[in-house]
Structure 1
Amino acid sequence: MKQPFGVILAGGQATRMGGGDKGLLSLGDDTILGHVIARLAPQVDTIALNANGDPTRFANLGLPVIGDTIDGFAGPLSGVLAGLDWAAKHGATHIVTAAADTPFFPCDLVPHLMLAAEEAGTEIALARTPDGRHPTFGLWPVTLRDDLRTALQDGLRKVVLWTDKHGCATAHFSDDAAFFNVNTPEDLTQAKAML
């Protein structure tokens, strides 16, 4: 398998944070999104940001910004689909997704996902810790994008319902804190302490 493309999922509405872009909040000397990019970039071929609304607010990042192609905030799978469509146009076979509000995810996420998929003989792999699955951190094949588009148009929103239908490997990580995500002002305070 070629090195996958990376897609950072930032298409949510951040309602628990009062709206806006959580990823642009300061965390140490950078933004939350800056930490996510720094962790993902060495692991993938290239990166795009999945975000809705005016893309110019991310102009300083120098990344392509791709919006959802399914209307109505269809959840993370809509961002996965946007990423798969983008990757297909550029000749990639797979993408790896990471959430824009999870600044401490493993620096070896991508190789673990790829190995898990290879060992299980599947094309999809999701991250898992003792706390459970982390479905926004996954390896996704471009070949399934039309199937995903149909599922979303039919109203599917839950990631694992779709992944389990196609056979999904699990990449195990021991540290639950690695997938700590910033949803609330209190979480941001905790992330600053963790940093």
Structure 2
Amino acid sequence: MRVFHLTCGRCGHASRLPIGAASIATACGQCGTAVRIELFPALLREAPSGSAGHQLVLDNESSCFCHPQKRATAVCDRCGRFLCDLCDIEMNDEHLCPACIETGVKKGELKRLRAEYFYYDELALILAIVPLMLFWVTLVTAPVALFIAIRHWNAPMSAVPRGKTTLVAAIVLASLELLGWAAAGAVLLGL
């Protein structure tokens, strides 16, 4: 049976609880504080066993590009290399080899595996807010903020989905700044 290591939040006493149910209610063995633990269902399931690949039995069978002693079970959809179960990575209904994933990340072709994201929504909002201290600068930054917000409306902002609130705020603020400049220009020109 699997064991959960628990440290009491009150006294710091370490104890071990057997994992048997999704919800565990107990008391600290040292100070008697009531403790309730809710476990994720995935913690109760056995981890699926991965396959290291099958050994090559016959000489006329295809072998893996990276592991010549393993039988090929898939073909990389990008480069055509034969892959064993260990090397085969299924992503977006494609079978990819580790080398193609590495080059796809470097070239930016695999958008879901990017390690860095640029927050264009925050840039647009900063370009709309910060120049308000020197209002005349908004004549330049407001159109730039508006362009960035509209241009990157559908761009993935991060691995975790972000709302459009920041982009909307940047668009509204930049539009108000431009309307302010239009009104100031109309007053100066006597329109």
Normalising TM by the smaller chain, what interval? under 0.3
Which TM-score applies when normalising by structure 1?
0.17
Which TM-score applies when normalising by structure 2?
0.18
Q: Which is greater in Rg? A: 2
Larger relative contact order, structure 1 or 2 (CA cutoff 8 Å, min sep 6): 1
Which has more strand, going by share of residues? 1
